Structure 1
Amino acid sequence: MDEFTRRAIIQAGLAAVGTAATPRIAMGQGRKIIKAVGKIDVYDPVVGTSYATSRHACQVYDTLFGFDQQGIPRPQMVGKYEVSNDKLTWTFELREGLKFHDGTRVTTADVIPSIRRWAERSGLGSALLESLKDITPRDDKTFALELKERFGLVPDALSWPFIMRKKEAETDPTVKISEIVGSGPFKFNEAETKPGAQYVYDRNPDYVPRNEPPSGMAGGKVVKIDRFMFVHIPDPQTAVSAVQAGEVDFLPETPMDLLDQLSKDENVKLEALYGGEIGFYRFNFLQPPFDNVKCRQAVLHLVDQSEFLNVNFPNPGYYKTCASYFACGTAMENDANTAWFRDAPNVDKAKQLLKEGGYDGRPVVILQPTDWLNGKVAAEILAAQLRRAGVNVQLHAMAWAGLVARRAVRGPQDQGGWNIFPSSIAVADAAFPLGVIQQANGEKGMWGWPSDAKHEELRKKWGQSDAMDERKKIAREMQDNAWNYVLYAWYGQWVQPSLMRANIKGMLKSPSGYFIPWWNVDKV
């Protein structure tokens, strides 16, 4: 792409931003505005599962607890709490100063339905519901969580639901909310937001931060800028040029082939803000051929992780191959049932398993995201790997928003269905057995709808434990079973640093890529 074309694309992508923001800037000299590259297709963090949705939500909403940089849950909206001796009753009191952006006070009438709505759509939430007897208000500020059986992850669970007003929180969890009103450190400026081009967030002057130092999603959320914006620039290299030119300030994921070049530019800097991602292929368990376990096992024997990693990440210092079901470098990492990994790729073994699984040559539909480079390449490589084993592959290309809609279709291919698609998840989330991608509760669960009773039994057992050694033992059992049943297949693990202007200071690290906090950040 020549420089004239690149600049034209940048200006087209930012034209709406300049038009909307200029009058406000002129009215107040010295206002600090940070622009980050991003696009939000779904505002509702219960309905949407993407990083973009979560990164939007953590600015607008607050949570009862928050994970610090080490992944430890700390009180956030909660002021104090206590646990009964039998650990079956947890009582929480909200801290002072919590108000929604419309000026109304946050009460337990808002908190309780927010927890319940989130739990209906979350892997961790569904595990909590299984152990839950009831959630009851004691007064406007105090509520009790009563359990039927011990659950070792209550503070962890309460670090996830974003607290909404009662009227949004009572919305069906499969239906998107219509108003974006939270109690967090930023207010969503719907009037100046132009979907598909820019998304605007203004500092909430009424937000009362905690007194502790900030750490990840925990501690004091002190906002040091006046406005934060997501700006949609679909081409990654154009986005890089926009950061270098100072037209935007931040790019969440930097193209790996440009890292060496960018490291020499004194106007920008590279920072790894979370512990990396791991890519996975998600199967549709309801439709052939991957309704048969032998065909899913065949994919394990076909996938060569290094094939994807070497293409996408030229610098080997940023990636690794990984056989652990819980990702590598995590507390739950283990080597149970990984002989297939040492043998892969084994095309002959894959052909044998496909035959045993009854594969009959029917088309296998791979959903390919066109606006996410890693996913686009991962889909192309998977198609080539499957074809080596004689699979009749059809690549269906679409934007990620289209893929999100398509993956909800449970019917066969000729009715808009699918068989497999690439995605990725933060390493910290892959290591968490109660996460959404690890559900195996059939059609009650998330897209792909895997079902395995032993897996669900082990997940519940892991969640009830509060001892690390016992959790590691259970995780080993879970991995041994999961690589036989094959809930998904990894295609590589990597760290992709963020790119930002050199004058951006105070970016907070987070255990998960779902969250990039914009409090504590300054533009100097």
Structure 2
Amino acid sequence: MTISRREVIKAGMAAGTALSFPSMLRAQTSPEDARTVRMAKEDLRIFDPVASTANITQEHGLAIYDTLFALDSKLTPQPQMIGKWGVSDDKKTYTFELRDGLGWHDGGFVTAADCVASIRRWGQVDAGGQLILARAKDISKKDDKTFTIALKEPLGLLPDILASASGQFLFIMREQDANRPATEQVTANIGSGPFRFNAALAKPGSSVTYDRNEKYVPRKEAPSAYAGGKIAKVDRVIWNNIADQQTAFAALQAGEIDFFQVPADLYPAVESDPNLDLQVVNKSGNVAFVRMNCLQKPFDNIKARQAILNLIDQEAMLRAMYGDPKYIRTVTSMFGNDTPASNDENTAWFKKGGDPEKAKQLFKEAGYAGEKVVILQPTDWASVSNGCQVLASALRNIGVNAELAPSDWGGVATRRSNKGPVEDGGWSMFLSDWPEFAMGDPISNVLLAANGEKAWYGWPKNDEYEALRAKWANVATSEERKALARKMQRIWWDFAGFVLIGQSVGPIAHRKTLTGLLDTPGGYLAMWNMQKASA
């Protein structure tokens, strides 16, 4: 008989079984407990948001850094660190002035020089930033509070790119940190945002702690997604790395933690607990995908990538990963289901149940000779871990030598940067997801770039596609953009830069005493505005 995780936990709790929790999770009874929020999060291994697109790293950035502009709940860019800004009559020179009250956690003042250095560093890795650097004639400070971006030609999307949450947020760092090469990680963790990183309490592999920045001066506007006033309403937030999903959920039920990205098979257990809530903080959801290493065998061959495109049974993988049908949808457009760029060009490959026989034939045409195909499996990310197992099984069924490489997500995020063969610690495939709203943004979304070794992990390369992507910022009307999107998608599915699994809208679980969680496009955690009532 198969017993689900939900049944194990329910039985254990009903019987009063005492699960073994780390001491840091034991229930607190001190008066200040209502001012401390504890969350089950994956291991934060990479602190530099320029060095990694991993959600956990970008969320760390949202806590301690601030941005020049930010998207509100309607996906409109709003000034954040900027007080005033304008553009010249010829639309080629933008002038930005910082608002008052911006200070670093180490006591210094934020200056225009910090902003210039941060833009230049971020622009080396973010797809939208790369476009700005390519179009820029000059990026320079005018005085301590003012800087300009002078362009070779107009770029009307500039404020949108500076505010983008589609790739990597443009977090402003101290000049001395931002002057480090983008290939070297910044480890100082000193920002100007609403929370300070507590280095003294950091326990690598176990927990990280953030304290309210008492000197932070928020904007006066109401909070709206990543924009508006970032008011920290709790004194401390602790991220506990609890790799075991059962332990994390039991800790949530017991009040040991307040927040947990709960796996789909536990939704009914959350709904039946009077002390817990499920909340969707990312209404457009995420699109899950398979990324292949285009630099190494077998996926350096286009036929092998096309094989995966035909192999995937989206419905089966979505059910395994996310469970409840009300939270999932199949996707055939590289631009997602609901973005203005979404279309049906070149989607004949999609078949209910997939097409394993065609996939097998395509692997044969690719000259596949039994090479090991290593799939990076994050065991602390339940949905993706389940998807990896389904994918490995499907590959083995058509004769592919698939091997799972289990680790926590931190290990996956580190290993996927290895461009070498699997024999040298490289990889063949990994699964992840991306905010659905961002799938319609080929300028800032690095997942949609195909510029070879400058591209995101997997490093697909197609010059014809890239020439079309470069035109995106210049088209004048939505009709022209839709036509361009169809041309791009026709080429994309031919060379298969990634393979889609489907769309999910997954809620998070939290104690009912935790309120004020903001709806955010992409679902990145915004820790300001949340508050906690006494139990």
TM-score (norm 1): 0.93
**Is residue 276–residue 426 contact of structure 1 (8 Å, CA) maintained in 2?**
yes
Q: Does 2:96 align with 1:96?
A: no
**Is residue 327–residue 333 contact of structure 1 (8 Å, CA) maintained in 2?**
yes
Alpha-carbon distance between aligned partners in 2 of 1:388 and 1:178, rounded to the nearest angstrom = 45
**Is residue 318–residue 494 contact of structure 1 (8 Å, CA) maintained in 2?**
yes
Alpha-carbon distance between aligned partners in 1 of 2:206 and 2:488, rounded to the nearest angstrom = 43
SS of 2:85's partner is: strand
Structure 1 residues 8 and 263, CA gap change in structure 2 (3 angstroms): closer
Q: Any runs of at least 4 consecutive aligned residues in structure 1 with deviations exceeding 6 A, and if so which?
A: none
Q: Does 2:184 align with 1:175?
A: yes
Q: Does 2:479 align with 1:469?
A: yes
Structure 1 residues 242 and 102, CA gap change in structure 2 (3 angstroms): same
Counterpart for residue 386 of structure 1: 395
Q: Does 2:495 align with 1:485?
A: yes
Per-residue deviation at 1:344?
A: 5.6
Alpha-carbon distance between aligned partners in 2 of 1:505 and 1:17, rounded to the nearest angstrom = 20
Alpha-carbon distance between aligned partners in 1 of 2:208 and 2:425, rounded to the nearest angstrom = 31
Structure 2 counterpart of 1:156, which letter? D
The one of 295, 302, 326 aligned to 1:293: 302
Alpha-carbon distance between aligned partners in 2 of 1:72 and 1:143, rounded to the nearest angstrom = 22
The one of 92, 111, 116 aligned to 1:112: 116
Counterpart for residue 86 of structure 2: 82
1:446-501 CA distances to partner (integer Å, 9 max, x unpaired)? 32111111221222211234643332222222111111110000112111101111
Q: Map residues 81-480 of structure 1 onto 2, 5 A cutoff.
A: 81-159=85-163, 160-251=169-260, 253-274=261-282, 275-342=284-351, 345-434=354-443, 435-465=445-475, 467-480=477-490
SS of 2:368's partner is: coil
Per-residue deviation at 1:244?
A: 1.8
Counterpart for residue 507 of structure 1: 517
Structure 1 residues 148 and 501, CA gap change in structure 2 (3 angstroms): same
Is 370-379 or 104-113 further displaced after alignment? 370-379
Counterpart for residue 62 of structure 1: 66
Per-residue deviation at 1:30?
A: 7.1
Alpha-carbon distance between aligned partners in 2 of 1:217 and 1:491, rounded to the nearest angstrom = 28
**Is residue 237–residue 255 contact of structure 1 (8 Å, CA) maintained in 2?**
no
Counterpart for residue 49 of structure 1: 53
Alpha-carbon distance between aligned partners in 2 of 1:351 and 1:377, rounded to the nearest angstrom = 23
Counterpart for residue 71 of structure 1: 75
Structure 2 counterpart of 1:457, which letter? A
Alpha-carbon distance between aligned partners in 1 of 2:411 and 2:233, rounded to the nearest angstrom = 36
Alpha-carbon distance between aligned partners in 1 of 2:251 and 2:268, rounded to the nearest angstrom = 18
SS of 1:309's partner is: helix
Structure 2 counterpart of 1:326, which letter? F
Structure 1 residues 29 and 396, CA gap change in structure 2 (3 angstroms): closer
Per-residue deviation at 1:180?
A: 0.8
Is 445-454 or 183-192 further displaced after alignment? 445-454
Structure 1: where are the runs of 5+ without partners? Answer: none
Counterpart for residue 496 of structure 1: 506
SS of 2:229's partner is: coil
Per-residue deviation at 1:281?
A: 0.9
Paired-residue identity, % = 42
1:360-400 CA distances to partner (integer Å, 9 max, x unpaired)? 23222222222221222211111122223222222222222
**Is residue 415–residue 426 contact of structure 2 (8 Å, CA) maintained in 1?**
yes
**Is residue 127–residue 463 contact of structure 1 (8 Å, CA) maintained in 2?**
no
Alpha-carbon distance between aligned partners in 1 of 2:162 and 2:275, rounded to the nearest angstrom = 40
Structure 1 residues 85 and 49, CA gap change in structure 2 (3 angstroms): same
Per-residue deviation at 1:265?
A: 1.9
Alpha-carbon distance between aligned partners in 2 of 1:72 and 1:36, rounded to the nearest angstrom = 29
**Is residue 441–residue 450 contact of structure 1 (8 Å, CA) maintained in 2?**
yes
Per-residue deviation at 1:92?
A: 0.6
Structure 2 counterpart of 1:363, which letter? K
What number of residue pairs does the alignment pair up?
A: 514
1:11-57 CA distances to partner (integer Å, 9 max, x unpaired)? 21xx23669xx8xx96x757611111113111111112211111111
**Is residue 118–residue 173 contact of structure 2 (8 Å, CA) maintained in 1?**
yes
**Is residue 113–residue 140 contact of structure 2 (8 Å, CA) maintained in 1?**
no
Q: Does 2:19 align with 1:8?
A: yes
Alpha-carbon distance between aligned partners in 2 of 1:305 and 1:78, rounded to the nearest angstrom = 43
Per-residue deviation at 1:5?
A: 10
1:273-323 CA distances to partner (integer Å, 9 max, x unpaired)? 012111111111111221111111111111101111122333210101111
**Is residue 151–residue 465 contact of structure 1 (8 Å, CA) maintained in 2?**
no
Structure 2 counterpart of 1:506, which letter? G
Q: Does 2:48 align with 1:34?
A: no
Structure 2: where are the runs of 5+ without partners? Answer: 1-7, 164-168
Is 74-83 or 391-400 further displaced after alignment? 391-400
TM-score (norm 2): 0.92
Alpha-carbon distance between aligned partners in 1 of 2:138 and 2:121, rounded to the nearest angstrom = 14
**Is residue 17–residue 198 contact of structure 1 (8 Å, CA) maintained in 2?**
no
**Is residue 293–residue 357 contact of structure 1 (8 Å, CA) maintained in 2?**
yes
Counterpart for residue 522 of structure 1: 531
